[in-house]
């Protein structure tokens, strides 16, 4: 597969940075709104805020996180960076996949459950232990996820840890190990 030229790489890199930035900014907004939601006493407002958080998650966070992963994969595949040549790329891959997985397995379901409970119970949801657990999970998990995305962006900029040193077997080692 031919590598991208500089202009193509820069366009793809710009898209990757944009999607990562959208993910970070929206995650930060969700945490801020969820924090405000802890002081809501009006049932209709409680549901409206939860429904808004769910809408933001479904239509901004999920696509931007996945597009960030996709553009990162394309950058690894179509440029000299590669998937396993640099420690910072490996760390970013692992962290991004973990964040998307935890968002899918925990944060999304917690937010969906909190929204459903507040839709049915309105202000009574505030005394429901399941709602309290779910919304605290969204707040704490969202904060951790936001900080993690910020760290991933920092790793992208700083590129710490450098290139992996891969030991190449000499011809003698190759023949002796196959004996």
Q: What is the CATH number of the domain that holds 68?
A: 1.20.120
Q: Over 90: is that where the pLDDT of 81 sits?
A: no
For residue 122, give its domain range: 6-177
Residues 122-151: tens digit of each pLDDT: 999 999 999 999 999 999 999 999 999 999
In this structure, are residues 131 and 50 in contact, taking their beta carbons and an 8 Å threshold?
Answer: no
What are the beta bridge partners of residue 163? 86
The verdict on residue 53 lying in a domain is: yes
Residues 160-169: tens digit of each pLDDT: 987 877 777 6
Distance CA 3, CA 117 (A): 50
34-44 average pLDDT score: 90
The number of domains in the chain is 1
Quote the pTM value. Answer: 0.87
Neighbour-count burial for 15-39, b at 16+ CB within 10 Å, e otherwise: bbeebbebbbebbbbbbebbeebee
């Amino acid at each position: 597969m031919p590598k991208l030229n500089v202009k193509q790489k820069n366009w793809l890199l710009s898209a990757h940075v944009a999607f990562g930035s959208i993910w970070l900014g929206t995650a930060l907004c969700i945490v801020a709104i969820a924090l405000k939601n802890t002081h809501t006493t009006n049932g209709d407002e409680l549901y409206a805020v939860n429904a808004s958080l769910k809408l933001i998650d479904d239509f901004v966070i999920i696509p931007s996180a996945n597009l960030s992963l996709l553009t990162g994969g394309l950058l690894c595949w179509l440029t000299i960076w590669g998937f396993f040549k640099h420690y910072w790329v490996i760390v970013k891959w692992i962290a991004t996949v973990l964040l998307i997985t935890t968002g899918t397995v925990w944060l999304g379901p917690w937010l969906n459950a909190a929204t459903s409970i507040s839709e049915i119970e309105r202000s009574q949801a505030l005394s429901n232990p399941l709602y309290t657990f779910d919304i605290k999970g969204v707040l704490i998990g969202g904060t951790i996820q936001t900080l993690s995305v910020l760290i991933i962006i920092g790793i992208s900029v700083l590129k710490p840890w450098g290139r992996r040193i891969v030991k190449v077997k000499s011809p003698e080692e190759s023949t002796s190990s196959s004996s």
